[in-house]
Amino acid sequence: MPPTTLSAKQAAGLHECFISLGSNIDPNYYFAQALEIIGRECVLLARSKAIRTAPVGYQQQPDFLNAALLVSTPLEREAFRDYLKGVEDRLGRERGAIKSGPRTMDLDIVAWDGEIVDDGYFKHSYVKKPVDEVLASSGRTLEPRPTSSRR
């Protein structure tokens, strides 16, 4: 787990990450739980307000709450992605046959060290709007990743 306090030497090696949060199973409870865990295990720099959004894809499910966080971590990107999937698991996330189905918590890396790494930012207002709110409040900017690195 990432430390909650860092020495000056450790702080020099931190990465900044924008995380998209989404939940539509008891979302108020799971948002509070996710914020508590991430706030305890990472350095939380900023967060957006939660917004309610209609489901995308599979429609026979409740609306979602979505938000964005800006955190710093000493972990590298793939290790941090694995950490976020572990947080989802700790919050009871079940991955079923319907990829866009209901979930207790969905945590995705949207931007890493100032570079957008998730095309969802450009495609979905439920990702873009909260991230843009954090950008405005934190004074940060984001750059799209170069076309050659798109996966």
Half-sphere exposure of 79 (CA within 13 A, CB side): 7
For the question of residue 77 being annotated catalytic, the response is no
Residues 93, 52: Cα–Cα separation, whole Å: 19
Two structure tokens written together for 2: 């990432």
Classify 3 as helix, strand or coil. Answer: coil
Which listed residue (26, 63, 77, 103) is catalytic?
Answer: 103
Which listed residue (106, 113, 119, 145) is catalytic?
Answer: 106
Which listed residue (26, 77, 82, 93) is catalytic?
Answer: 93
For the question of residue 93 being annotated catalytic, the response is yes
For the question of residue 145 being annotated catalytic, the response is no
Which listed residue (52, 108, 113, 145) is catalytic?
Answer: 108
DSSP 72-139: EESS-HHHHHHHHHHHHHHTT----S-TTS--S-EEEEEEETTEE--THHHH-HHHHHHHHHHHHHHT
For the question of residue 132 being annotated catalytic, the response is no
Residue with tokens 């609306």: 63
Residues serving a catalytic function are 93, 103, 106, 108
